[in-house]
Amino acid sequence: MPIVRLEIAKGIASTEQKKAVIRRMTDVLVEELGRNPEYIFVVIDEVETDNWGRKGQSLTELWQEREAKTEEH
């Protein structure tokens, strides 16, 4: 019973994109491992950007800075 867990920042993927990811991850496990799709589980956890950091800052801060730089140009 394969379980795929994927963490992404909240708000970066639409419902349609998440459906496509679930479908394609399932297809890979069916093709590569010969598993029955009935028993493949894909879990997408969406993490608030305030709770996800990089380079010592939250994604919220980093994205705000990036947006401000884009508006300057």
Q: Please list the active-site residues.
A: 2
Asked if 51 contacts 7 with a C-beta cutoff of 8 angstroms, the reply is no
